[in-house]
Chains A and B, each alone.
Chain A
């Protein structure tokens, strides 16, 4: 069964550094998402991406964040200058939205900012 993959599984970075989190969504899916989960808290929507552009973003997704689909398979989340409070699990998800609307989640990337 196809699945969403994410790399790396764990990323440690220093405050102020740039990080890129990578995702490979399921190949025939059309919408792509990033969510964040700070340890012990709920999962929060960051951004959705459709037809090579951002379709919606939350108030969390400020100017330090960006997303890109550089080729036909990868979907990346870039954090330009990481802060301590960016430490969280970051989940990528994708969806077909033609009859089936449930989102398929990747295993997540744990980002630790020191």
Chain B
């Protein structure tokens, strides 16, 4: 079974600074997807960024980027120029690729606080 581990229950960052959230996962598969979802206090799940395992290039979306280390099974999220609106729970998630139901396996989350 696949597992996703987020070892930082809480993190804080000063506004405009950079923060990195860690995620490791365990799988015996070679083809899969990794995601970061943001959950603000409204509890809506919002996709931040995704990474295909077959791609060596790290995904970026504006101020959000990932450091994907396939051999180490590590998938960290870097938030640059942090804004107050970035304060939320962040969940790392895994999904198998190919045939199947693509269900997500989530980590326990990291609560990010942004200090003005």
Contact = CB atoms under 8 A, between A and B. Distances in A.
A15 B107 CA distance: 30
A56 B50 contact: no
B44 A31 contact: no
Contacts of A102: 33, 35, 47, 50
B44 A108 contact: yes
A43 to B, nearest CB: 4
Looking at chain A's contact residues, the main secondary structure is strand
Interface string B2-38: 0000000000000000000000000000000101010
Interface residues of B, number: 24
A31 B33 CA distance: 16
A45 B105 contact: yes
B101 A55 contact: yes
Contacts, number: 62
Interface string B67-98: 00000000000000000000000010101010
B56 interface: no
Given A42-B91, A102-B47, A102-B50, A31 B102 contact: yes
By CB atoms of chain A within 10 A, which of B33, B95, B103, B105 has the most?
B103
Interface range, A side = 20 to 34
Nearest to A44: B106
Interface in A76-114: 89, 91, 93, 95, 97, 101-105, 107-108, 110
Given A42-B109, A43-B91, A103 B101 contact: no
A42 B35 CA distance: 15
A84 B104 CA distance: 25
A101 B95 contact: yes
A43 B45 CA distance: 10
Interface of B: 33, 35, 37, 42-47, 50, 91, 93, 95, 97, 100-109
13 contacts: A35-B104, A42-B109, A43-B93, A43-B104, A50-B101, A55-B101, A56-B100, A95-B102, A101-B50, A101-B95, A102-B35, A105-B45, A108-B43
